[in-house]
Structure 1
Amino acid sequence: MNNKHKNTPTKSFLSLAITAAVSSTFMVSAYANENNAVTNDVLEENIEVITVTATRSALNINDALTSQIVIDRQAIERINPVSVIDLLSTVPSIDIASNGGKGQSASVFMRGTSSDHTLVLIDGVRISSATSGGTNLNTLSPALIERIEIVQGPRAALWGSDAIGGVIQIFTRKLDGGDFFAGASIGSDNYRKYQAGVGIAHGDGQTSITVNHEESDGFDVQDNTETDDDGYEFTSIAVRGQQNVNTNLTLDWLFTADQGETEYDGGYQNQSDVNNYAWLVRANYETNIGNVINNTVAMVGQNEDAADSLKDGVLKGSFETRRNQFSLVNHSQFSEDVQLNVGIDHYQDDVSGSETSYEQTKRDTTGMFAHGLLTNNNFSYEATLRYDDVEEVDSEVSYNLGAGYNFSTNSRVVLNYGTGFKAPTFNDLYYPYSGNPELRSEYSDSIELFFETTLATVDTSIHFYHTDVDDLIAWTSAGPENFEEVEISGAEFVASYLGFGGNHDFNASYTDAEDQKTHKQLIRRAKNKASYKFSTSIANADIYAEYQYVGKRTDRGDVKLDAYQVVNLGFNYAIMPELKLNARVTNLFDEEYQTANGYNTQEQAFYLGVTYQNF
């Protein structure tokens, strides 16, 4: 199957310049300055990593009884990603299916579950669509991201609907007062990007403002339809701030927005204009009552995603979904060994637009939960219970139970069991002439066992998990029905090593996701995946190399998708302390592959940019 696209006129010169710079430095780095590289990485590793997604409270990542991965700002700059998908593609047991390049829609499958079984948050705000249930990650620029926390496995007992396969929480940039940066990049397919950010101090607080604009002529995402390039143009902004009112009360706020347009191949429609935003205001109040430290967090927020569908510039339809969100969570620390979190969440979905003649256009969901964590010598225990009431659907009770044992400082074993659910979307329930208002929520139960240890100087972990999903919603010629049952089994192996010139990170995963009625594998999930990442520093240069292997998959109609291998490179060079040259080579060996049947992927691509920052 031929996926080749056009070659840009400037590709030859740009490819020679970037490949020569990256390759020559990469060759030298494996043998030079090894001691410095290892020393720096050891210092970084000793920094305590605090996460909030796994328990909805600040906790050391090594104390949470769940599988977690954190992609921080330093890693993002090292990788030089074009999209958020570039950051997620090497995570174990995450499969990506893209309908073309960055401007097109992309689906994320975590641990074999469906693409709408992963809850996606921005600073605590749900951003999935109430109509489709999906989340468009391609409109969000990595330039706006401070870090990403990925929790693998069910967390519905803490977060409610959607968190069957896991949770992805994206945190926006935080700049100190007086910090600023600006940058520009060019690349293949006439790619252009401009970004800037500034931190503003105000009393005992600060506000960060980050702006990003990017556009590209794109490439032809489907060979057998319109023979033209399918480009895109997006502009994004993020405003994140915090103010310490007094020693007990802190306020923080967020506003993100992205708008733009993307072209695609289609008979009835070939362009989509998007306009999305999210905001929140949050109060954090800390008290000490009877030697119990309490932190109470009250949040009000909203997200909206709107899309207009066009054909050659003529409006064909529009969709708009809005979600008002409220939450109140209290974290009580009774001692170093005992903590309790309790909370309530409420959100209101509202659907409108020219093509939304649904029977129902509004829905309220309310959830209440309690979560406890106990440490006793080398043992740790976790329990979570949650009740959700979804208007016009049903109520759900979900829970998590976990236990861990620390053999030593660097070795532990964890066993956890959890349930999850996914409420049917407005499309499932009320889509004109085909929705099914009698649908029930999808329900899952999962068990996981994992072991983490350090062997010599190699950090390793191995994970085994099994998930059953019942009442899975599937669309047939008669509409959506609760009839599918899915059984998923998987294993993951992760190893990290500091030495031989830099950081070496390897992971491999096996996922068997089978429909129990047809005994066929679920579409677009690979049974076998592996990745290897190498990063190092030499003189004023940071070098990054990435290898991905994705095994065979099936797609709709029992179409077989071939396995593929991709190599990506990243390069940063400090011309001076404040000025950096950055580059990326995507698909270095010009691999021909597809992640969704009928949709092309980008051929070999090159990006070159410069960034100035005063911090």
Structure 2
Amino acid sequence: MGIKRSLVFVFAVCNLSLYFGQEKTIDTVYIFDNQMNKVKLFHKITTLSLSDIQKNSSNLSEVLRFQSPVYIKENGRGAVSSPSFRGTTAQQTAFVWNGININSQFLGEGDMNNIALFGYDQLEVKAGGGSVIYGSGAIGGSIHLNNDINFNKGFSGSFNSEIASFGTFNNFLKASFSNEKFSFKASGSHSISQNEYEVPESRNYINRNGKYYNTNFNFAAAYKIASFHQISWISESYDGNQHYPVFFESQTPTRYETQNFRSLVSWDWKKTKFNNILRAAYTEENFQYFANLEQPRTSGASGKNYIIKNDFNYFINPRWNVNVIGEFQQNKGEGEGTSGITNVSRNILSVAGLLRYITSSKISIEAGIKKDFVEGFSSPVLYSFSGKWQAANWYSVNLNVSRNFRFPSFNDLYWSPGGNPELKPETSVQTDMDHEFRIGDFKLTLSPYYIRIKDMLRWQNTSMGYWMPFNTQKVESYGLESQLTYEKQINQHYIKFNTGYIFTRSKDLEINKQLMYVPIHKVFGNIDYRYRFVRIYAQGMFNGLTYTESNEKKSDALQSYFLMNAGISGTILKKYTVGFKVNNILDEIYETMAYYPLPKRNYSILFNINF
């Protein structure tokens, strides 16, 4: 194939960063996803720190449910969970690990409850398209799991342990060491929960067979060869086990196991006029499904991805820079059991170019174009345009326009019975505009948006008696995301407030009805107060009526609900922290997926040691 011969070209293409008009050395803090700092110049990004994540330490689903505009659909606590950005689906959401897209090659999405919650230095949420930089699936938005490397910090470490309702235990240990030239970081986490909660008010529901447990390890190291050369490495392994809930004791209990491994090596070369980052990555996903808990597995699959990516950035002058990104991937998959998938593979070559005009004053512009060469498909030319105007000290506006896509997954193409090798990639065009107002310590952001998706992939029942994917659906989604933040430090008093309202209309244009599991209204809010060694926080979230069928039948819809959590903690000698949390204080009965109620009021105790 010509795509294989083009591999040599990947080493010649490159990527871009910002120009500061002086000789540059590697920063004290090195972020593996170097593009993210540039994305933040033109897009509204929700950034969550470790302390934010600890407020909702059950799983990633809870974090994003209460602290982001994303809607989370969860088949019971700790079970299969998927996100929805701006009225799109989980397949149109990209999970990005340190700059590498890690969506499953089989499912085309990521299960949020099979992605580790701890082990990352930063969790970032970006709404809106990003296929020019982050590839297939970045249509509705992307979720970024980022790690960084520090230098000249010496030795440090921390240990977190949490005991919670339903026989839940979460533990996380992290240690790091760095000097002027070398940096090393390691962490490990383990979570386990019997997870047998009851909701008698909802059809006498008991979360039978709901047990889950997972273990995750992260390692990272970096060495400065010279002031302008650095070699870095990061690796992650994850082992998870989910028991799927059953409604009656007579039902056969099932379970799902998954093992993921990711490793990334990076060579950074930074000079005054240019910088270049060459990466080689390997990711692996394995899963097994057991139709009977006590019997051998009935199906499973193993996927391996080999990635080479080069980012080159050339600084024409202090304002203009050119970024070229080249990437080659080889995706391999092998199914077993009832999946019907044999040995399959595909090669993907992509070349993207971006031109940026960046000033410290009023106007900044970025324009990008990308072409993907996906084996077996005719892929569209993608583009993006972003512009920011600082109209006044108190007001700025960002405009973003992009074309994005998603190519079919291995399951879409090869699942037996039902795989459809005639599928075409989904494409979308979209635009959004961020209006940002600053008055004192308050910041208000209003973000209207519009998305139109063509050739949307959807699995449908056929006359042959099985389901099959087709390019059938055209979807139009529009709405408003708004967010108000306030942050203030007065002597030893610190307060932080963050709230958001999201309005979403997402319609299947063939029937002019709201899509399933897309709430029209969502409101979330968080408030933190800290005085000396005491910290108090509260969270609230309202979710509006959510249809579970394509006919907008209100009798089958999930009813609106309001949830509230709160917690308090105290720190002694700056090293020891003890905390207490109450989730669902109001004892609300609610579902995010039909027939799977989530827990009523529950509690947890947290211990933390820094050393």
Q: Same fold (TM over 0.5)?
A: yes
The worse-fitting range, judged by mean Cα deviation, of 517-526 and 264-273 is: 264-273
Q: Give me the whole-angstrom Cα distance separating, in 2, the residues matched to 1:396 and 1:131.
A: 22
In the TM superposition, residue 417 of structure 1 has moved relative to its aligned partner by: 0.9
Tell whether 2:521 aligns with 1:538: no
Change (3 A) 1:83 1:548: same
Q: Report the counterpart of residue 37 of structure 1 in structure 2.
A: none
Do residues 304 (structure 1) and 284 (structure 2) align?
yes
Task: State the one-letter code of the partner of 1:498.
Answer: E
Residue type of the alignment partner of 1:234: N
TM-score, normalization by structure 2: 0.86
Maintained 8 Å contact 1:92/1:492: no
Task: Summarize the alignment of residues 158-197 of structure 1 with structure 2, pairs less than 5 Å apart.
Answer: 158-172=133-147, 176-197=153-174
Aligned partner of 1:494 in structure 2 is 483
**Using a 3 Å threshold, how does the CA distance of structure 1 residues 91 and 522 change in structure 2: closer, same or farther?**
farther
What does residue 346 of structure 2 align with? 363
Is the Cα contact below 8 Å between 2:322 and 2:354 reproduced in 1? yes
Deviation at 1:360?
6.2
1:611 Cα deviation after fit: 1.1
Q: CA deviation at 1:403?
A: 2.0
Residue matched to 1:40: none
1:229 positional shift: 4.1
1:176-575 maps to which residues of 2 (within 5 A)?
A: 176-201=153-178, 204-219=181-196, 228-265=208-245, 270-288=254-272, 292=273, 294-310=274-290, 311-315=292-296, 316-355=298-337, 356-358=339-341, 361-375=344-358, 378-478=362-462, 479-498=468-487, 502-556=495-549, 558=553, 559-575=556-572
Residues of 2 paired with 1:179 and 1:92: CA distance? 30
Q: Is residue 50 of structure 2 the alignment partner of residue 73 of structure 1?
A: yes
Deviation at 1:142, TM superposition (A): 3.0
Is the 2:334–2:342 contact (alpha carbons within 8 Å) kept by the matching residues of 1? Answer: no
User: How much does 1:517 deviate?
Assistant: 0.6
On the 8 A contact 1:67/1:153 being kept in 2, the answer is no
Alpha carbons of 1:224 and 1:116: their partners in 2 closer, same or farther (altered >3 Å)? farther
**What is the alpha-carbon distance in structure 1 between the residues aligned to residue 518 and residue 425 of structure 2?**
23
Residue 131 of structure 2 corresponds to residue 150 of structure 1: no
AA aligned to 1:509 is I
Kindly provide the amino acid, as one letter, of the partner of residue 481 in structure 1.
F
Cα displacement string for residues 570-596 of structure 1 (whole angstroms, at most 9, x for unaligned residues): 322102211111232221111111001
The CA distance in 2 between the partners of 1:212 and 1:136, in whole Å, is 18
Deviation, 1:51, is: 8.4
> Do the aligned partners of residues 567 and 50 (structure 1) sit closer, same or farther apart at CA in structure 2, a change above 3 Å counting?
farther
Using the TM superposition, give the Cα deviation of residue 58 of structure 1 relative to its aligned residue in structure 2, in angstroms.
3.5
Letter aligned with residue 312 of structure 1: L
C-alpha deviation, 1:137, in angstroms: 2.4
What TM-score comes out, normalization by structure 1 length?
A: 0.86
SS at match of 1:76: helix
In structure 2, C-alpha distance between the alignment counterparts of 1:391 and 1:585, rounded to whole Å: 51
8 A contact 1:163–1:421 mirrored in 2? yes
The count of corresponding residues between Structure 1 and Structure 2 is 557
CA distance 1:250–1:482, shift in 2 (3 Å): same
Separation of aligned partners in 2, 1:504 and 1:546:
10
Code of the residue aligned with 2:562 in structure 1: it is Q
Q: What CA distance in whole angstroms lies between the structure 2 residues aligned with 1:73 and 1:87? A: 11
1:246-299 deviation per Cα after TM superposition (whole angstroms, max 9, x unaligned): 1121111111111131111356761112211111111111123xxx2x111111
In structure 2, do the counterparts of structure 1 residues 170 and 215 end up closer, same or farther at CA, with 3 Å as the change threshold? same
Give the counterpart letter for 2:527 in structure 1: F
- Cα separation, 1, equivalents of 2:106 and 2:39: 36
Q: CA RMSD in A?
A: 2.4
For residues 110-135 of structure 1, give each alpha carbon's deviation from its aligned partner in whole angstroms, at most 9, with x where no partner exists. Answer: 11111111111111232211111121
Shift, 1:412, TM fit: 0.8
| Structure 2 contact 93–140 (Cα < 8 Å) conserved | yes
Identity, % of aligned pairs?
19
**Letter aligned with residue 260 of structure 1:** G
Query: What code does the residue aligned with 1:143 have?
Result: F
Contact 1:92 1:530 in 2 (8 A): no
TM-aligned CA distance change 1:196 to 1:94, over 3 Å: same
AA aligned opposite 1:125:
I
- Residue matched to 2:77: 101
Worse-matched range after superposition: 563-572 or 200-209: 200-209
Give the aligned residue type for 1:335: N
Q: Which residue of 2 aligns with 1:15?
A: none
Distance 1:90 1:576 in 2: 31
